[in-house]
Chains A and B, each alone.
Chain A
Amino acid sequence: MRDVESIAKDRGLTTADLVAAAKTYLPSGQKDEYLMFASGGHAGQIFVVGLPSMRLLRSIAVFTPEPWQGWGFGVGNDILAEGFPKGKANLWGDTHHPALSETNGDYDGQFVFINDKINARVAVIDLRDWETKQIVKNPLTLSDHGGTFVTPNTEYIIEGGQYASPWGSEYVPISEYKEEYKGSVTLWKFDRNRGRIDKDQSFAIELPPYWQDLSDAGKLASDGYFFMNSLNTELATGGIQDKKPPFEAGASRNATDFLHIIDWRKAEQVFKAGKVQEIEGFPVITLKTALAEGLLHVTPEPRSPHGVDVAPKGDFIVVSGKLDPHVTIYSTDKIKKAIESKTYSGSDGFGVPILDFDSVVEARIEVGLGPLHTQFGPDGYAYTSLYLDSAVARWTMGGSYGSQTPEPDWTLVHKTPVHYNVGHIAAAEGDTVSPDGKYLVSLNKWSVDRFIQTGPLLPQNLQLIDISKQGANAPVIYDMAMGVGEPHYAQIIKADKINAWATYPEVGWDPQEQNINPMAPKPKMERVQRNSDGTVDIFMTAVRSHFNPEHIYLKQGDKVRWHITNIERAVDATHGFAVPVYNITASLEPGENVTIEFTADTPGTFPFYCSEFCSALHLEMMGYLMIEPD
């Protein structure tokens, strides 16, 4: 310990610094207790970070091609293509909100979903092999922000639209905004057995052309509902170039916007009863039907809201308006009663009944400036990010939670400064029915002076906060620079809930099917097969340290299906497969079988090789592809 003192002295570390280090340092070989699945923002990916070490463990390629994982360079291209909007190749994504699959409102560690805001897409990632299995393109809209959130048993993945736009984003002048621009929310049915979204069982609900924002599924007390914020209930259409109020002013003129309260179980019945309209080939419950069937209510919420977060027991819904220093807490019980008794204060311009604000609100707490998102602890505390204050507020819940905290109900307890401009926060399992507490990560948008200057583009700063103690004790204990994209939301799951494969279960495994591919080449089946229809199948195996076959002769114009199996069984014995000129790179994890299709349109001699340093003879793991000109 004398050594520690002398190092601390040399480096100018305080006792608090040493405590923080002791809380977060992981000696080699020790493993993290939690995994944080963070959206990758513009990276279009998911980043997985271990807690408390805050080490980046993996990125998972989703909407953006990624060479190391061999995603989109011969493998995964068809999945990426499923998501191309209007048939145009879009090879990036703006991932915002990951959602881990849930069973009874708790993370089950099987799947993670994520939305792409820029093109309104949703992806499915299987947490056995951490690979993207499916991308669905929303046919109705081009932007989404209220997704992804799952219902308590992952019956549906909720994807709320963002910027209202004409159905299918057809051309309509903005002067016809109110009539022709639409808001919507889509409920993607998840088939857990297949590990895929079942598009045929999915549907959407038409909403007023507000800009629907974040959403959250009800659980326990509020099971069967989901809640969705909105902004621009003013129906502002901007036009700064014509001296009209810009969106930023027009869309935040009113003191309140609308919290949407949607009965999804009833909506499911309406969909199953066929009371839908096919729009862009997709079943939509029109706003008219939604109102006739009583699926949709709204209630006022502080303007420009961001987070809407359902408390662990489902009994309260916490909303933060960015421009209001309070968090507003709604009571599920009161909402249900108000719906029952039709306690309306009127209806919006589209006939949507407005539940009387005072009849549904439980409490309002002044927490600070720019409140955004709320997470929950196991001990009656809730946490709200404060963008303008650059802080995370800890406050006490009331109702049945109140007895767990020493402080009075519905009170601000403490604010932890963060650096800087916090967006989302994520507490360990902090949006489930059983939050773990312990850790909270503040996903800060700006880092300003926290790290060495990295040019004018700065990394985000993900700060780990220890929330294990009560009261005014919630210190920041680690700063993690994230220099590869801008994480928005993240979810933190107990690491032992995920049963990830160390290798694919059997040799010849097709990750797309999550099953053995009977066609997968195995040892002694290696060959180049010229078919009667002129196509060529190459059956290749990869093992330390050779491909077999090593000589591939093709003719210019051949249509090629190149099947490769990594026949290794050792953990981490991954091989790469890289072909020059043809823009091919694949990652073959032990047991994995892939098929890469291309047309041999460019003649030449192409040395292909293993791009993972697999063994001492890795450089020798190569072969020649020789394409004879016509």
Chain B
Amino acid sequence: MTTITDRFLGPRINPADASSRSIRYGMPGFLLLAARVLLLVSLFLPYWRMELQAPQYPDGLHMTAYLNSLTGDVAEIDGLNHYIGMRSLYEAAEIERTVGVFILIAFVVMLELAAFVHTRWAALLVAPVVFFPVVFLVDLHLWMRHFGLNLDPNAPLSNAVKPFVPTALGKGGIGQFITIATPGPGLMLATVASFVLVTALYFHRRAYLPLVKQQNSAA
């Protein structure tokens, strides 16, 4: 008689197999662990950067987004943005910045759990983490789109600068500024984690699907 928990967790490996086929059964757990480490490290690294270049700023203006904060020349960029009627960047993605760290920690916990789940449910725990970098970029793009398209029509430069969609990744331009948006090392680590997780799922399937089938047929 299998409990719901057992059905969720799937078949256990007998210890002899675990040691004799350590790569086969160790690989999924190892990769999930690697992804967790990558995500945890990414917490402390910038996820996104934007540099603004203009003649009167020889060193450029720099803005760095971490999961939970915006740093750099934000006040100066805000000051410039007020001319075109853009809202303060501090008002962007406030919820995301508040919960970002907790979500990432939740992800780490989910991956921890996934290491014990030997059924297809593991994919459900891993999938949100896999798509996290994409979701981050889409969210960033939507915020920038929202800010860029909703300029204050009464702003000083409303005649000169029409609503626009700032570039979330790559080179863009506005007024005398060239903008260069690049992913930060945090986002890169999260992306690497995504690939690691896809690989982990492959190894997971290879290791546990036969066991699940075996169990099902036994039942």
Contacts and interface: CB of A to CB of B under 8 A. Distances in A.
Contacts, number: 16
Interface string B73-93: 101100100010000000000
B173 interface: no
Majority-rule SS of B interface residues: helix
A569 B83 contact: no
Interface string B177-200: 000000000000000000000000
A414 B79 CA distance: 60
A569 B78 CA distance: 12
Contacts of A543: 79
B79 A620 contact: no
A444 to B, nearest CB: 37
Nearest to B59: A571
B153 interface: no
- Residue with the highest number of chain A CB atoms closer than 10 Å, among B57, B73, B79, B156: B79
A486 interface: no
B156 A569 contact: no
Interface residues of B, number: 7
Nearest to B61: A570
Interface in B25-79: 57, 73, 75-76, 79
B76 A545 contact: no
A568 interface: yes
Contacts of B76: 569-570
Contacts of B83: 545, 616-617
A544 interface: yes
B175 to A, nearest CB: 10
Interface in A536-589: 543-545, 568-570
B75 to A, nearest CB: 6
Contacts of A568: 79
Contacts of B75: 569
A617 B157 CA distance: 10
Contacts of B156: 545, 617, 620
B159 to A, nearest CB: 13
Nearest to B57: A570
B209 to A, nearest CB: 58
Nearest to A543: B79
A538 to B, nearest CB: 22
A617 B57 CA distance: 18
Contacts of B79: 543-544, 568, 570
A616 B57 CA distance: 15
Interface string A523-536: 00000000000000
Nearest to B176: A616
Interface in A143-183: none
B200 to A, nearest CB: 46
A319 to B, nearest CB: 49
B72 to A, nearest CB: 11
A569 B76 CA distance: 7
Interface in A491-537: none
A543 B75 CA distance: 11
Contacts of B57: 570
A543 B57 CA distance: 17
A545 B80 CA distance: 10
Contacts of A545: 83, 156
A506 B154 CA distance: 31
Contacts of A617: 83, 156
A568 B80 CA distance: 11
Contacts of A620: 156
Interface string B104-122: 0000000000000000000
A517 B57 CA distance: 29
Nearest to A544: B79
A617 B76 CA distance: 16
Contacts of A569: 73, 75-76
A617 B73 CA distance: 21
A22 to B, nearest CB: 26
B182 to A, nearest CB: 23
B187 to A, nearest CB: 27
Nearest to A617: B156
Contacts of B73: 569-570
Interface string B160-181: 0000000000000000000000
Ranked 5 nearest A-B pairs via Cβ: A570-B76, A617-B156, A569-B75, A544-B79, A569-B76
Interface of B: 57, 73, 75-76, 79, 83, 156
16 contacts: A543-B79, A544-B79, A545-B83, A545-B156, A568-B79, A569-B73, A569-B75, A569-B76, A570-B57, A570-B73, A570-B76, A570-B79, A616-B83, A617-B83, A617-B156, A620-B156
Interface of A: 543-545, 568-570, 616-617, 620
Given A569-B75, A570-B73, 11 more contacts: A543-B79, A544-B79, A545-B83, A545-B156, A568-B79, A569-B73, A569-B76, A570-B76, A570-B79, A616-B83, A617-B156
